[in-house]
Amino acid sequence: MCGIWALFGSDECLSVQCLSAMKIAHRGPDAFRFENVNGFTNCCFGFHRLAVVDQLYGMQPIRVKKFPYLWLCYNGEIYNFKQVRKSLGVCSRSQVFCGLFESHLSLLGIIQAATLFSSQSFWMSLMDVMLMLNTVRDLIFFPSLQVSGCLKGLINLKHSTSLCSKVEPFLPGHYEVLDLKPSGKVASVELVKFHSCKDEPLHVACDTVEALPSGFDLEIVKSNIRILFENAVRKRLMAHRRIGCLLSGGLDSSLVAAVLLKLMKEVNINYPLQTFAIGMENSPDLLAARKVAAHIGSEHHEVILNTEEGIQAIEEVIFSLETYDITTIRASIGMYLVSKYIRKKTDSVVIFSGEGSDELTQGYIYFHKAPSPEEAAEESERLLKELYLFDVLRADRTTAAHGLELRVPFLDHRFTSYYLSLPAELRIPKNGIEKYLLRLSFEDSNLLPKEILWRPKEAFSDGIASVKKSWFSILQDYIDQQVDDLLLEKAAEKYPFNPPKTKESYYYRQIFEKHYPGRSSWLPHYWMPRWVKATDPSARTLKHYKSAAQE
């Protein structure tokens, strides 16, 4: 998403407050606009644009003469905008919203109509009523309201009250109606959950894929998975900037890259697909990604990671992520550096990735220890609900830090809801292999070499290093010299919320508190595997991984 920032009802100097909007300039490097809201005291919008689609009409906020009281600020690619646009009889994608406002003149009508959008992430603000829809993450503050696509756009704002401002994530799948007074002060009218990952989206009616065969016969299920996944990739081809793809050589990114290149050829996109891998010399990910790239015929780029470069990036990564979660930081270092390479060395801007598959298709190794299929299904849904705290946070922040737009087909609403509708027994690991159903669905497609299609799960933060010494071990060896034993002993006194239990955790927390002091509650808990006695989130510490590696 682009960089969206808004301020309503501030009692401080507005021109000084608006400097905070520049903290999120990285999210929209192509254009920038500030606009005061006439008729309201100390209210303004800030917008940093990453121009990917609709370059003529896409600048924000949108104003139209027909509705002089309407201010529209939104973001998120609307993949079915052509179908919606045709039904409304408007010319541009951006005019779709104004058409919806004209044809659904009630607030409830606008909300209902907006659910027709096929969009991975969506943020929308309408005035003189205020409406926010969100499937990723935004931040709000009361009694004055401040909104930013990243936390760093809010932390330096001044307030007339001496009390610490409350800054919290706006929950995915919700909208909030706020009453905005002429003074700029706001009051919440209602907060409503309008979507969950299990719900079939209403925009199925505007989809290009017709009704699928019903039933749970294995061949029907496999066919539906292939059709919906291919559709999820196809709709995301919509772009006026060059498309690329992250490629770790694991199942998820490899499937995305293979289907993406196949569809790019079908629609006659006249440039080669650039794929990007990062890792240390001869790391498992580099070797596997090289094999996939050769099989599908992509223009492959390798970024060689060295220990010093990775360690030096830790503070930048934590500042970009806005979290102190251990496994998120480990995995983000490689993704941050490969994104930096893409921005500096290539012209790819729209980047596909395999995020979301592990949560949806039960790809984490600890799913082998699930007590029952039903508990595994519940865990899968929990992980999906918390994506904005962990893997999607990582993927979004590390790519947006370098002005890239990420697209994640595995989290397509229709694909996700279908996969979660399948019987729990079908979705669990089988024969010692996680994501068994997904692999089986593409077994006869010839999209990937067999050894890649059935390659065991390798965490991104582990696969970029050697099998002999994991990335987390390299980090821990360095950090062990940076944190004194006495500091760790007193960690619970200094950091009573989510107290660090290891030197690595303490080191990350120190950096986080340096940039975001007193904001530890943004992370409700650390990411850790379930059903196993794990003291570290790395899959390489689990018995199942060690057995597979030995084989």
| Overall average pLDDT of the 73-99 stretch | 66
Spell out the domain ranges in the chain.
3-193, 217-476
Structure-token pair, residue 19: 């400097």
pLDDT given for residue 132 in this prediction: 35
pLDDT: is 480 or 179 the higher one? Answer: 480
Cα separation, 248 vs 250, whole angstroms: 5
Angstrom CA distances, 401 to 1, 62, 152, 205, 335, stand at 11, 25, 12, 35, 11
Q: Note whether 7 and 144 are within 8 A (CB).
A: yes
**pLDDT, tens digit (0-9, with 9 covering 90-100), for 147-164:** 888 888 888 776 665 556
pLDDT: is 135 or 220 the higher one? Answer: 220
Cα separation, 397 vs 416, whole angstroms: 22
- Give binding residues as ranges: 246, 278, 353-354
Q: Rounded to 5 degrees, what are φ and ψ at 435?
A: 55, 35
Across 135-292, the runs of DSSP E, i.e. the strands, are 138-140, 145-148, 168-170, 174-180, 186-193, 242-246, 274-279
What class is the 217-476 domain?
alpha beta
pLDDT given for residue 104 in this prediction: 54
Q: Choose among 207, 237, 274, 229: nearest CA to 419.
A: 229
Residues 6+ apart with CB under 8 A from 244: 273, 274, 275, 276, 342, 346, 348, 349, 350, 351, 352
Name beta bridge partners: 73: 125
Active site residues: 2
- Give binding residues for ATP as ranges: 246, 278, 353-354
Q: Choose among 437, 454, 407: nearest CA to 254.
A: 454
Pairing relationship of beta strands 242-246 and 348-352 according to DSSP bridges: parallel
Mean pLDDT of the chain: 85
Cα separation, 323 vs 326, whole angstroms: 9
**Which of 59-73, 303-317, 343-357 has the lowest average pLDDT?**
59-73
pLDDT: is 519 or 1 the higher one? Answer: 519
Across 198-345, the runs of DSSP E, i.e. the strands, are 242-246, 274-279, 299-304
pLDDT given for residue 314 in this prediction: 98
| Overall average pLDDT of the 332-356 stretch | 97
Structure-token pair, residue 327: 């496994």
* Length in residues, the chain: 551
**pLDDT, tens digit (0-9, with 9 covering 90-100), for 281-333:** 889 999 999 999 999 999 999 999 999 999 999 999 999 999 999 999 999 99
Name beta bridge partners: 75: 123
Residues 6+ apart with CB under 8 A from 414: 118, 200, 201, 203, 204, 207, 209, 228, 231, 232
Global pTM exceeds 0.85:
yes
**pLDDT, tens digit (0-9, with 9 covering 90-100), for 413-461:** 999 999 999 999 999 999 999 999 999 999 999 999 999 999 987 665 5
pLDDT given for residue 547 in this prediction: 46
* Matching CATH number, 3-193, of 3.10.590, 2.60.40, 3.60.20, 1.10.10: 3.60.20
pLDDT at 101 exceeding the cut of 80: no
Residue 517 backbone class (left: φ over 0; alpha: ψ -120 to 50; beta: rest) = beta
Percent of residues, the chain, with pLDDT higher than 90: 54
